[in-house]
Structure 1
Amino acid sequence: MTTQAQFLLRSTALCGVAIGMLFQAGAACAEEVGDGATASASVAEDASTPAGEIVVTGSIVAAQQASLEAKRIAVNMTDIASADAAARFPDQNAAAALARLPGVAVQRDQGQERYIQVRGAPNRWTSVSIDGVPMVGVDEGGDTRAFRFDAIPAVMLSEMVINKSLTSDLQADAIVATIDLKTYSPLERQGFHVDGGLGYGVMDHGGGQQRQGSVRLSWSNETFGMVLGASHYLRDQVTDNREASYDEASGAATSYSVRNYKLERWNNGLFGGLEWSPEAGQKLYAKVIWSEFADNEERNQYDFGVSGDTVTSLRGSFNDGKYRNRNTIAMLGGDYDDFDGLTASVKLNYARTVNTTDLPLIMASASTLPELTYTADDPRFPIFTDAGGSFDQADLSQTGTILLPLKQRTQSDSYTIKADLAKVMGDLTLAAGLLYADRDIAGNTLSSSKYVYLGAYGEAVGQPFDINSYITGKAWDTSYPLGLSLNYVDNTAMRRDAQSLLSTLEGAGLYDPSTDIDPTTRYTQRERTLAGYLMGKLEVGPLTLVGGLRVEDYAMDNAGQLYDGTDYSARNYSTHTTDFFPSLNLRYEASDDVVLRLAGQRGISRPAYGAVRVGASISDTATPGTISGGNPLLKPEYTWGLDASAEWYLPGNGMLALGAFYRWVDNVLYGAQETVNSHFYDSAGVDRSGYLFEGTYNGRSGKLYGVELNALKQFDFLPGALSGLGVQGNLTLLDGDFTALDDDGEVATYDFQGMSRTIVNASVFYEKYGVSARVSYQWRTHWLDTLGGLGSGEYRQGYGNLDVALRYAVNETFTLYADLSNLTNETYVAYAGTSATPTEVERIGARYLFGLRFNF
């Protein structure tokens, strides 16, 4: 029996035992409740509400019930979170809210949720749409198309839908899932309404503030509606960080990086919409979304080179970095329903995403090396000892101070037209649609190829720069042991004076800011996608079959520059492919409460913009020669997938579900150094086909598979106050790998980046008498984070997060709340090989937020 089969059998058996136990509890509940039980939810679905769109009012129970009903009637495999349910968790953005759903893991940056990973797969395998229109992300590294969820505040949304199996009307650029973020519609509620909240709290580590505020104003009558919304979230955060490097052969530490970050992060959002429904079944609308993620990051860092138990070198690094991600989305659309089976919709969308990084890193080594030794009894926390009493933090070389002007900017402008048409003809519904997307991308990847000598040049122009003069009298706010006493530097003043010096150097002809960015890291691209689909839905008694074919014609024009050590040369590369993506979904209502599903599909994941850029640096002096940069010859990843599930909807408010999936993936993307085997980089008669290229490559085949168990139940059969108790949880068990050539040219097997083999989300909640309380725990096992050059992988250690959310409805208008997050004060650890060689150790502390929500 194969390893995959054994895994699926073991996992299915484990989940089957758990489901059996829960089914017995559910049956007992059903006997006590009886047929006369009524759901504690307000769910409206009528002729004016599109199929699958649920209008929700009321408590968390109502929101959960509505999400369950939407999942039950969906023709494909989905998981759904309503915005009202998300508001009952301490979540500030869409990533945190989605992480509560089955099979979803979250990828954090400085403790804040940024990307999500569905079914443990790389985040590039999950695509995103807003109100049904596909969106593509750009980030500061330029190496992913994944959408940044920390840029979308949850307050803008009415519903978040994870489509785990595809139908042909959904974008094919999804290997494990596509997520649709649905924005609020003012026509859902007539009259004038104000919804929002204010909150303030503290970060346990560092004592910095945490604040948030949101407001949504909406008004509508039977034919016209308008909405305006705004949101703000900010945290002042201190992050403890330790990083280390090791000798590959012996495993001994070669350096330790001791870091402390002071961050000011905020998310701002604006949202507006107009809707006009002149007649029932007809609607025209216009929507605008603007969102911003900002991170002001002050870094204090000391790097200790070590050998044996002795410190051999010491360098300080400091910066006042600025990270920005801005999204502007505008949409015009119209829906038509003649109530005789004909429906149509048209959407025109413009989306701009701009991501910038400005990270002037100032560094200097110790002018006199102090007599330092160290111990690492706990490899996460090296302890340094000043053996000779000669350590002086203010002893960095003034003339040797350098600045590394790290800069990055990527902008994507996208124009999309989407049209859909459907006709119901008895038991058969036929649908067809077209999509055209035209996207321009211009940017650069973050590089470190240039140094500016602040110390030496500063003295030359009579403006000396003393890096030591910025050390303050304030000690680091750290919970990590260190052994030495370190004080913060004034990063803001250091950056200000460095920029003043750069202006002087520019005037003296010693500095040219136009050369800060390596031309080989720049790229200009235009991609165009023309897609069409035909789909049919056949309902035969309890069986619903949905099958269709999607065709996508994709073209990209790619421009950049090559550098051969002497000259730059412009290069262009274009690709054009036409692909076919069939899909089939079967839904069978075995009874009023049991739904069985089976689905099959083909999907795609296209390489990131930075990964396929033309730009590259060439060295002809090495033997063999080397090339580093983008790889325009990359192929997309393609997949065939199968999904199956059984869902049991319990009386009152509850569900049990067991699902399994399998994905076969070709052309898996990974990073490595391999022979070029192409004449694309040849110039001036030089054959470079045998050079070694360092960048992103296509591997061979891969497979990802697993099972998911999801359970939700409120114990409404219990007497009195106890009937407010309930539980919600999900368990996902995963496995998979892919093959590629190793450093010796042999076929080897590797894990997928980001795949935890076990993901758990569990919560106990109470909802009654105006009280809403929830204790939630999230846990995931270790996963491969960075593959490196195949053989030098970095893993992330598994961790759990414990959160508590409390709500008390003072009356129908005001609700008090308290959100207590990361109460276990998790330590996030990355390691190379084993946990005995940690490469990064980070902690941000617990967070406490208190406030008031209002709606009237």
Structure 2
Amino acid sequence: MIEFKRNRLSLLISLTLAGAASPAFAQQIGEAGLVEEVMVTASPIRDSQKAAIDAKRDAYNNVDVISADTIGRFPDQNLADSLGRVPGLAIERDQGQARYINFRGAPFRYTSLAIDGLSIPGAENGRVPRFDSFPSVITSRIDANKAIMPNMPGEAVSGYINISTFDPFAQRGWAFSTDVGMGNQELGDGDIEKLSLRSSWSNDNFGFSLFSSENSREQITDNREYDLSRDGGELSVNELDFRSYKVTREDRAYGGRFEFRGDGALERVFVSSLYNEFQDFEERNQFVFDFAGGAGAAGAPQAVGERAENQYALATRSLEYGLYENSTFTNTLGADFALGDWYLESRLNVTETENSTFLPMPYSSGGFVMASYDVSDLYDPAVGGLMDSTGTSIGPNDISYPPGGMLAMTISAAMNIDATKFKLDAERDLQLFGSDSVLQTGVEMDSREAGGHGMVMAMGLWPSGVNIADYATDEPWDSGFDNGIGATYYDNKALRRAWSRAVGGLAVTPHDSQEIRLEEDVSAVYAMVTTEYGWGNLVLGARVENTDYLSEGPTGNFEDSFTNFLPSAHLNIDLADDVKLRLSTSTGVSRPTYSEWRGADMVDMTGANVTAGNPALAAEESWGADAAIEWYPGDASLLSAGLFSRSIDDVIYARSTVIDGDDYMPEAGLDEWTYTEYVNGNNGEMRGAEFNAIAQASDFLPALSGFGISANLTLLDSEFETLEGSRHSLPGTSDTIVNTSVFYEMEGLSIRLNHQYRDDWLSTTENVGMTEYWAEQKRLDLAVSYELPQPVFGASVSLYANANNLTDEEDVRYEGDISTPNQVEGYGRRYLAGFRVNF
């Protein structure tokens, strides 16, 4: 597979350098028919920032804009990284890769994602958008809307992110661009490959664009997890978990647009298509040492302190080779036309999203050993001195497990959503009380069917004909830690193939109680009036959304219908030619995810727990206010400060209790089970302050022309009340978020140093105590590019080099406080170099 990719890279490079025929072209940004042209000359950072600032200045709401060229010049792996540099937005990573957005510190589902103004289902649970598979090659700009208007979906409680795709009419005639890069992930010496291609053509009436993008990254993820406790200051090491992941992540996207633009009442007709896919191939080698369980089994006291020797421990081993994948396939037919005094935009969209997990895992438990441990460095624990029951020294691969503890475990989850949307927007000019105004109105019908199953685990005895020991290798774990157990890898891929052959294939068949079957229809209508005054403008309007849903379960169906009235107002005042004041109030609704709304319970007999769906769960309703002042001191500079607040009713969270297992499932023979259910809490609040500065030296100190800075600071606070009356922050809320970029550009050279910081945040509400947090995270990234002074075969060529995580940061999660971490994860630095070509 890798060799095929490299051949493809060589072919593309040859085509790129041999097929040039036209000069370098201007980068243009299009949205809803409005084209903003940016001539990318000797100052691409300045020019792209100017375009984004102009778009923000002209907007009727509080919005931050990222242009395509800015995205290309960040050392970012995907659009989530780029969005993480917007004021008020923070990112959550999975094994070092940006994946989710905490928009103003809110839970994931409070953010709505749209492509060209059409919201699409989240890849996970119908509500949670992921940004790690959307390629920059399709993007002309990204709008992060913070104050929601009536023509935006009501589910955008904290924000509405719209990705505007490339406009084939941005340049007449043929245009071609490509980005080819190769690099290295430091930990594990993994290969990184990047390839994107976009071609377009247009004349006065016809145009099309085609694109493709493929990225691949190999890495090692170093993981240590803990179960620690302190009683009276004494540290107890209950369990130490050592993991090494070999990961290959691939994403690809294909699509295009065909468009006709008329000269009369029919302005344009187009059809567009986008398919994107993300795959995460994961090998896990894992050893867990349970010192508390070992002491209990031996009837011996458990040691306390940072170090202990010759302690009893129960050992487990997991050797997974599995796949996480998700995809989105969205297709749109659109037409824009005039009808008398009205201008209409009509859209028909069909979207399919798929999300699945399949993790076959040979699982061995019940190994009984003597071991020593040392956690004097909590971020680099060690377990050594392993001995078997005879007192013989052994290595991790020599641990003996009882036959009943040799298990074949397969974990599976799936969610498929088919969505059909019709949207019609209309607007016309009018005079309102002697002032120029625009009336906008529209309807939207969104129908979705979701099917799949929650996390399902199948378990049986390991096939006797497959000896796991035969697949142990002599290759030591590749680790940024000290490899504190002296482990070597297994050949997980070969082990999975042998297992599959022995049992005739690997599969999981979910029980009816684990399936998710849900239908949802959302109908919306809105109206808004924008009125221009000498001092600014005022936008008043409202949106009404009606939701009908049916949740099917094994014991019956549940259906309900509810309507939300969502008014909003936006006042934009020009205090001076270069100073703008924005005041707004808006409302929103956040519906439960499809897993939360499912009409069934998910039963895990091996873990003795039940996760219950709640089809009667109420949607969260919000209202809030925004205030911002913006100063535009130069063509490409901006200083702004803002305040915001949101009140949220019926906050959804997961509550866990202990139940009598014999009453719930007598045949399981277990006394106590953990029962987790989704319920509505009360009195949710989000509030914060944002400060943003984009300064070009040429606007203030011409002698330092070429230098610039982009910096923003966000201060956040949130809380909600559980049914028991305790108060917690909303998951994802850091108190402080800081993004800073210092850059220099001159004569084709661009250098940008980026720093990101966010302090601790609650990682999940799906536990009893709600005490699990991610510790503060920092990232330092560098991007350098140079545009050749002369065209190459008529094309502009830029060379670039990116470096991510320069300070080799690790991600830490803890329980209660930082003195008791329960996870430390590292993955090393990342380097990428390549070239971009524009014809």
Q: Given the two structures, how large is their TM-score scaled by the length of structure 1?
A: 0.86
Tell me how far 1:370 sits from its aligned partner: 3.5
Tell me how far 1:337 sits from its aligned partner: 5.1
* Residue 683 of structure 2 corresponds to residue 708 of structure 1: no
* Residue 503 of structure 2 corresponds to residue 502 of structure 1: yes
What is the 5 A alignment of 1:470-485? 470-485=471-486
Instruction: Point out where structure 2 has 5 or more consecutive residues left out of the alignment.
Output: 1-24, 293-302, 666-672
Tell me how far 1:50 sits from its aligned partner: 5.0
Asked if structure 1 preserves the Cα contact closer than 8 Å seen for 2:521 and 2:547, the reply is yes
Amino acid at match of 2:418: D
**What SS does the corresponding residue of 2:455 show, helix, strand or coil?**
coil
- Of residues 97, 111, 117, the one that matches 2:82 is 97
Tell me how far 1:519 sits from its aligned partner: 2.7
Amino acid at match of 1:533: Y
Which residue does the alignment assign to 1:607? 592
Q: Structure 1 pair 521/189, CA: closer, same or farther in 2 (3 Å)?
A: same
Tell me how far 1:51 sits from its aligned partner: 7.2
Which residue does the alignment assign to 1:763? 741
- Of residues 405, 410, 429, the one that matches 1:405 is 410
What is the 5 A alignment of 1:538-553? 538-553=531-546
Which residue does the alignment assign to 1:224? 206
Tell me how far 1:186 sits from its aligned partner: 0.2
Question: What is the alpha-carbon distance in structure 2 between the residues aligned to residue 792 and residue 49 of structure 1?
Answer: 42
Question: What is the alpha-carbon distance in structure 2 between the residues aligned to residue 708 and residue 62 of structure 1?
Answer: 24
Amino acid at match of 2:558: Y
Asked if structure 2 preserves the Cα contact closer than 8 Å seen for 1:105 and 1:120, the reply is yes
Q: Structure 1 pair 619/62, CA: closer, same or farther in 2 (3 Å)?
A: closer
* Residue 348 of structure 2 corresponds to residue 348 of structure 1: yes
Tell me how far 1:60 sits from its aligned partner: 2.0
**What SS does the corresponding residue of 1:611 show, helix, strand or coil?**
helix
Tell me how far 1:145 sits from its aligned partner: 1.6
Question: What is the alpha-carbon distance in structure 1 between the residues aligned to residue 319 and residue 138 of structure 2?
Answer: 37
- Of residues 708, 722, 730, the one that matches 2:712 is 730
Which residue does the alignment assign to 2:332? 331
Asked if structure 2 preserves the Cα contact closer than 8 Å seen for 1:191 and 1:220, the reply is yes
What is the 5 A alignment of 1:228-627? 228-247=210-229, 252-279=236-263, 282-307=267-292, 308=303, 309=308, 310-336=311-337, 342-365=342-365, 367=367, 369-386=368-385, 390-392=393-395, 393-397=397-401, 399=403, 400-426=405-431, 427-448=436-457, 450-454=458-462, 458-459=463-464, 464-503=465-504, 513=507, 516-561=509-554, 570-616=555-601
**What SS does the corresponding residue of 2:732 show, helix, strand or coil?**
coil
Question: What is the alpha-carbon distance in structure 2 between the residues aligned to residue 328 and residue 113 of structure 1?
Answer: 21
Question: What is the alpha-carbon distance in structure 1 between the residues aligned to residue 410 and residue 837 of structure 2?
Answer: 46
Tell me how far 1:326 sits from its aligned partner: 1.1
Asked if structure 1 preserves the Cα contact closer than 8 Å seen for 2:28 and 2:170, the reply is no
Tell me how far 1:470 sits from its aligned partner: 0.8
Q: Structure 1 pair 712/803, CA: closer, same or farther in 2 (3 Å)?
A: same
Tell me how far 1:246 sits from its aligned partner: 3.5
What is the 5 A alignment of 1:654-673? 654-673=637-656
- Greater shift, 341-350 or 403-412, is seen at 341-350
Question: What is the alpha-carbon distance in structure 1 between the residues aligned to residue 50 and residue 213 of structure 2?
Answer: 27
Q: Structure 1 pair 164/259, CA: closer, same or farther in 2 (3 Å)?
A: same
Amino acid at match of 2:731: Q
Amino acid at match of 1:527: E
Asked if structure 2 preserves the Cα contact closer than 8 Å seen for 1:615 and 1:630, the reply is yes
Q: Given the two structures, how large is their TM-score scaled by the length of structure 2?
A: 0.88
Tell me how far 1:762 sits from its aligned partner: 0.3
Question: What is the alpha-carbon distance in structure 1 between the residues aligned to residue 198 and residue 809 of structure 2?
Answer: 34
Tell me how far 1:682 sits from its aligned partner: 12
What is the 5 A alignment of 1:4-83? 50=32, 53-58=35-40, 59-83=44-68
Q: Structure 1 pair 80/370, CA: closer, same or farther in 2 (3 Å)?
A: same
Tell me how far 1:787 sits from its aligned partner: 2.5
Question: How many equivalent residue pairs?
Answer: 766
- Greater shift, 205-214 or 788-797, is seen at 788-797
Q: Structure 1 pair 756/53, CA: closer, same or farther in 2 (3 Å)?
A: farther
Tell me how far 1:57 sits from its aligned partner: 3.4
Tell me how far 1:306 sits from its aligned partner: 1.3
Amino acid at match of 2:807: T
Asked if structure 2 preserves the Cα contact closer than 8 Å seen for 1:721 and 1:768, the reply is no
- The structure 1 segments of at least 4 consecutive aligned residues displaced by more than 4 Å after TM superposition are 41-45, 48-53, 247-251, 617-620, 717-721
Deviations 1:520-566 (A, max 9, x none): 221111100110011111112122110111011101110122xxxxx
Q: Structure 1 pair 721/231, CA: closer, same or farther in 2 (3 Å)?
A: farther
Which residue does the alignment assign to 2:821? 838
Asked if structure 2 preserves the Cα contact closer than 8 Å seen for 1:43 and 1:66, the reply is no
Amino acid at match of 2:454: T
Deviations 1:319-368 (A, max 9, x none): 10111111101001012358x9632100110100011111011111365x
Deviations 1:715-748 (A, max 9, x none): 0157777300000011000112111134xxxx11
Tell me how far 1:44 sits from its aligned partner: 8.3
Asked if structure 2 preserves the Cα contact closer than 8 Å seen for 1:316 and 1:396, the reply is no
Question: What is the alpha-carbon distance in structure 2 between the residues aligned to residue 555 and residue 274 of structure 1?
Answer: 35
Question: What is the alpha-carbon distance in structure 2 between the residues aligned to residue 617 and residue 829 of structure 1?
Answer: 30
Deviations 1:437-477 (A, max 9, x none): 111100111133x31111xxx33xxxx22111111111110
Amino acid at match of 1:531: A
* Residue 784 of structure 2 corresponds to residue 806 of structure 1: yes
The structure in which a higher percent of residues are strand is 2
Amino acid at match of 2:528: M
Asked if structure 1 preserves the Cα contact closer than 8 Å seen for 2:513 and 2:603, the reply is no
Q: Structure 1 pair 64/833, CA: closer, same or farther in 2 (3 Å)?
A: same
**What SS does the corresponding residue of 1:166 show, helix, strand or coil?**
coil
Question: What is the alpha-carbon distance in structure 2 between the residues aligned to residue 423 and residue 628 of structure 1?
Answer: 51
**What SS does the corresponding residue of 1:242 show, helix, strand or coil?**
strand
Asked if structure 2 preserves the Cα contact closer than 8 Å seen for 1:43 and 1:54, the reply is no
Q: Identity over the aligned pairs, expressed in percent?
A: 33
Which residue does the alignment assign to 1:688? none
Tell me how far 1:84 sits from its aligned partner: 1.1
Q: Structure 1 pair 57/266, CA: closer, same or farther in 2 (3 Å)?
A: farther
> What do you get for the CA RMSD once the two structures are aligned?
2.5
Q: Structure 1 pair 619/755, CA: closer, same or farther in 2 (3 Å)?
A: closer
**What SS does the corresponding residue of 2:705 show, helix, strand or coil?**
helix
Which residue does the alignment assign to 1:206? 188
Tell me how far 1:253 sits from its aligned partner: 2.7
Tell me how far 1:63 sits from its aligned partner: 1.0
Amino acid at match of 1:380: Y
- Of residues 818, 839, 847, the one that matches 2:830 is 847
- Of residues 94, 104, 113, the one that matches 1:128 is 113
Asked if structure 2 preserves the Cα contact closer than 8 Å seen for 1:311 and 1:374, the reply is no
Q: Structure 1 pair 540/489, CA: closer, same or farther in 2 (3 Å)?
A: same
Question: What is the alpha-carbon distance in structure 1 between the residues aligned to residue 557 and residue 664 of structure 2?
Answer: 13
Instruction: Point out where structure 1 has 5 or more consecutive residues left out of the alignment.
Output: 1-40, 507-512, 562-569, 684-690
**What SS does the corresponding residue of 1:500 show, helix, strand or coil?**
helix
- Of residues 165, 179, 202, the one that matches 1:183 is 165
Asked if structure 2 preserves the Cα contact closer than 8 Å seen for 1:543 and 1:589, the reply is yes
**What SS does the corresponding residue of 1:501 show, helix, strand or coil?**
helix
Which residue does the alignment assign to 1:17? none
**What SS does the corresponding residue of 1:411 show, helix, strand or coil?**
strand
